[in-house]
A and B are shown apart, each in its own frame.
Chain A
Amino acid sequence: ILNVEQSPQSLHVQEGDSTNFTCSFPSSNFYALHWYRWETAKSPEALFVMTLNGDEKKKGRISATLNTKEGYSYLYIKGSQPEDSATYLCAFTGNQFYFGTGTSLTVIP
């Protein structure tokens, strides 16, 4: 069983704060690292897919970095807004998708 760990488990921040969370994964047999945002009562929505060590991706106020050699990825949210409240999932893909348990973010207005 392959372990993908995310930290922290949950996070409460004030509107306007910047925040980041971590996804740790095995550094062997790596194909890709995916980030998803999962809002309550909706389907998980893809944010980024990263495949190369050192990859950085950006979408608006959200960005992500990847270190495949040490097996971690960071997701950053700049100037958090209430609509950013969601669970953020990462998934490591080797021969299949392995999801972490997610980081639940609550942005307080």
Chain B
Amino acid sequence: DAGVIQSPRHEVTEMGQEVTLRCKPISGHNSLFWYRQTMMRGLELLIYFNNNVPIDDSGMPEDRFSAKMPNASFSTLKIQPSEPRDSAVYFCASTERQSSYEQYFGPGTRLTVT
């Protein structure tokens, strides 16, 4: 299995631009999680889905952030407009079933907003 796939691995953009991060979970996994990691705030859960339905988006920092999961094999996290304080590493993770405890993480997308 290829594991969780994220793209791009690195993204550098200017303030005000739209950024779209992509995630392909492991086939057969039905829960998907988006995290943000920074030195100051550590690892933060932004939003998670179960069977493509958003369950909890209370971690999304503000309306500039949105996430979708149109099908079981694809999810996006969009930031519009981006700001320098959004610079972070964004991780996607998936789990096999509702009661599963092990989350499988992707390699992350390092976002830099200048």
Partners in one complex: no
B interface with A by C-beta (< 8 Å)? none
A interface with B by C-beta (< 8 Å)? none
